[in-house]
Amino acid sequence: MRKIHTALDGVFIIELDKCSDKRGYFIETCNKKKFELLDLQGDFVQDNQSLSVHTGTIRGLHYQLNPKAQMKVVSCISGSIYDVVVDIRKGSPTYGQWFGTILSEYNNRLLTVPKGFAHGFCTTEPNTIVQYKVDEYYSPNHEGGILWNDETIGIFWPTNQPILSEKDKKLPRLKDTNVNFVYGDDFN
């Protein structure tokens, strides 16, 4: 298991070790001791899984406000996604900046999404399954989101005709959100 730093503080790609033979493969996707050695804190309480039937499906950009903020570890177990995180911590030197990477069933990678970041993805293959671990239970009273195509963020999505939920189509732009994340605060 290896940690790859990104341009956004606290956002990492985790490359997993894969053992393959004629039977198939084995991958350890979560190991608390190894995560701690990589300085990845998270006491995961919930696993979520989504199936997106169509290529070009965008889910997000989502987050959960304090005091129910979530740290996520995202993987793609079937198909492929372009996975995106956006820094929404007020006062952060990278506020409003984003990072994107491909996660797929083939590249054995995870993406960490710290508290204080919005998360979303676009499927690049049909019948894509995404799984993510979170360290806080879902709280509908604390959920928030940002419009996927907010021009001030400028995410390059790999689709011209996205498939979105009605809820995600109506999300506000970053400047119109009520985020309560402040750079430097301890969200634990």
Nearest to 134 by CA among 108, 118, 112: 112
Of 62, 63, 82, 119, the active-site residue reads 62
For residue 105, the SS3 value is coil
- Greatest CA separation found in the chain? 53
Catalytic residue among 63, 82, 119, 132: 132
CA distance 13 to 46: 20
Is 174 within 8 Å of 116 (Cβ atoms)? no
Three-class secondary structure of residue 48 per DSSP? strand
Is 132 noted as a catalytic residue in this protein? Answer: yes
Residue 62 bears catalytic tag: yes
Cβ–Cβ under 8 Å, residues 100 and 110: no
Say how far apart CA 102 and CA 124 lie, in whole Å: 9
Q: Which residues are catalytic?
A: 62, 132
